[in-house]
């Protein structure tokens, strides 16, 4: 296994982030009113349709590698911190179906904006699971990866416009195919053979209630 120390550090960081969420949730739910939001990534929706192979190969970078029907939802348990889940389900071509789920937390940095009912810049830590299913062979390829986000959220009345940069750190993979073994490795790019480090982009439009 390569880069074991780096991957262990990344996983430990995510554990720390989720522990912080749990502790903060227990301390602050009696103080702050609920602030739920639900939305979608509009750039991911066309990825579920039949489009040119060249476009479909590279366009998902601008959609956070989300495909087709997708939903994002979260809860501001503190004015400057939220917990968020993301789900997308879609065929990516005639053979493969991909379902993925993300769970993480965002921490907002600009106190002056938060006091004025805005959000501004934030950093986030997430874990993502996805299943790449080959419908012809009926083989599942399962993956789990931690990733970090840097984003900006603009509040307009009850709408949130969220733009973020996502950087994957590592991936743990296994398959339903017989006689195969699980593996873990450092991964900073969807195409490491061409570009060693390549973050993805995500645009999310949400409604807060």
Residues 200 and 148: their CA atoms lie apart, in Å, by 11
Predicted TM-score (pTM) of this structure: 0.81
Predicted confidence at residue 53, as pLDDT, reads 74
Residue count of the chain, please give it.
209
How open is the CA angle 93-98-101, to the nearest 5 degrees?
150
The enclosing domain of 65 has a CATH number of 2.40.160.20
Predicted confidence at residue 16, as pLDDT, reads 54
Beta-bridge partner residues of 168 = 147
Query: What are the pLDDT tens digits along the chain (209 aa)?
Result: 444 454 455 455 555 554 554 454 444 443 445 489 999 999 999 988 887 777 777 888 999 999 999 999 999 999 999 999 999 999 888 889 999 999 999 999 999 999 998 999 999 999 999 999 999 999 999 999 999 999 999 999 999 999 999 999 999 999 999 889 999 999 999 888 889 999 999 999 999 99
Query: What are the structure tokens assigned to 63, written together?
Result: 């959609």
Q: Domain count for the chain, please give it.
A: 1
Predicted confidence at residue 58, as pLDDT, reads 83
Question: What range does the domain containing 35 cover?
Answer: 4-208
């Amino acid at each position: 296994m390569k880069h074991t120390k780096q991957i262990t550090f990344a996983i430990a960081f995510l554990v720390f982030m989720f522990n912080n969420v749990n502790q903060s949730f227990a301390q602050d739910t009696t103080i702050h009113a609920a602030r739920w939001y639900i939305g979608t990534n509009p750039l991911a929706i066309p990825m579920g349709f039949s489009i040119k192979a060249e476009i479909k190969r590279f366009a998902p970078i601008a959609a956070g590698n989300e495909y087709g029907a997708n939903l994002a939802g979260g809860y501001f348990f503190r004015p400057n911190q939220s917990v968020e889940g993301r789900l997308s389900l879609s065929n990516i071509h005639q053979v493969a179906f991909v379902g993925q789920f993300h769970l993480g937390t965002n921490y907002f940095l600009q106190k002056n904006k938060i006091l004025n009912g805005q959000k501004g810049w934030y950093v986030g830590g997430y874990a993502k699971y996805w299943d790449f299913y080959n419908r012809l062979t009926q083989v599942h390829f399962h993956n789990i990866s931690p990733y970090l986000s840097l984003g900006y959220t603009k509040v307009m009345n009850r709408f949130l416009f969220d733009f973020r940069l996502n950087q994957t750190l590592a991936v743990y993979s296994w398959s339903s195919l017989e006689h195969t073994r699980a593996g873990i490795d450092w991964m900073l790019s969807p195409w490491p053979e061409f570009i060693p480090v390549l973050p993805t982009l995500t645009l999310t439009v949400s409604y807060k209630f």
